[in-house]
């Protein structure tokens, strides 16, 4: 710190800058320079941020990260559930179409394999007749 009431000492010549030689009584009357630690605004500004503040900031950041992670997991589970439900709906539709096709094919098979239809096609279209005797092939 600079005390403007003190005289400067000339280091090159050994005498004081004013040219007058100091006497010993003058030196004793002056109080020694005492440094008093400040404890108010300037000291608080130089001290920095309190460690308790940083602990709270870390705690808040950790809480935000946990909430974000839980939200991401929840969104991922919801997306997976929706995709699974859409797949199930598509499978149910496909199964319904396959069952309808199966029913149509069973009806067509029963119509095409009826004995009356086969007999009519054989006798009318192909000119076949029933045999009157038991025939055996040798």
**What digits encode the pLDDT tens for the residues 90-121?**
999 999 999 999 999 999 999 999 999 999 99
Q: What is the pTM of this model?
A: 0.45
Give me the pLDDT at residue 63, please.
98
What average pLDDT does the structure give for the chain?
Answer: 81
**Structure tokens belonging to residue 64:** 């935000």
Tell me the C-alpha distance between 114 and 77, whole Å.
55
Tell me the C-alpha distance between 108 and 106, whole Å.
5
Largest CA distance in the chain: 165
Give me the pLDDT at residue 9, please.
57
Give me the pLDDT at residue 28, please.
60
DSSP at 23:
P
Residue stretches of the chain with pLDDT short of 50: none
Kindly report the backbone phi and psi dihedral angles of residue 9, in degrees, each rounded to the nearest multiple of 5, phi listed first. Answer: -100, 130
Half-sphere exposure of 88 (CA within 13 A, CB side): 6
Share of the chain above pLDDT 70, in %: 68
State the distance between the two ends of the chain, measured CA to CA, in whole angstroms.
Answer: 137
Tell me the C-alpha distance between 36 and 39, whole Å.
9
Asked if residues 17 and 8 have their Cβ atoms less than 8 Å apart, the reply is yes
Vertex 79: Cα angle to 77 and 83 (nearest 5): 115
Give me the pLDDT at residue 68, please.
98
């Amino acid at each position: 710190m600079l005390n403007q009431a003190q005289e400067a000492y000339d280091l090159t010549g050994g005498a004081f800058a004013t040219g007058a030689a100091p006497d010993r009584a003058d030196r004793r009357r002056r109080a020694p320079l005492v440094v008093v630690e400040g404890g108010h605004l300037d000291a608080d500004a130089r001290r920095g941020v309190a460690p308790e503040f940083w602990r709270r900031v870390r705690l808040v950041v950790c809480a935000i990260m946990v909430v974000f992670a839980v939200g991401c997991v929840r969104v991922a589970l919801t997306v997976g559930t929706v995709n699974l439900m859409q797949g199930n709906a598509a499978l149910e539709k496909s199964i319904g179409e396959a069952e309808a096709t199966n029913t149509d094919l069973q009806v067509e098979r029963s119509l095409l394999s009826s004995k009356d239809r086969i007999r009519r096609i054989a006798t009318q279209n192909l000119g076949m007749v029933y045999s009157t005797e038991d025939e055996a092939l040798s």
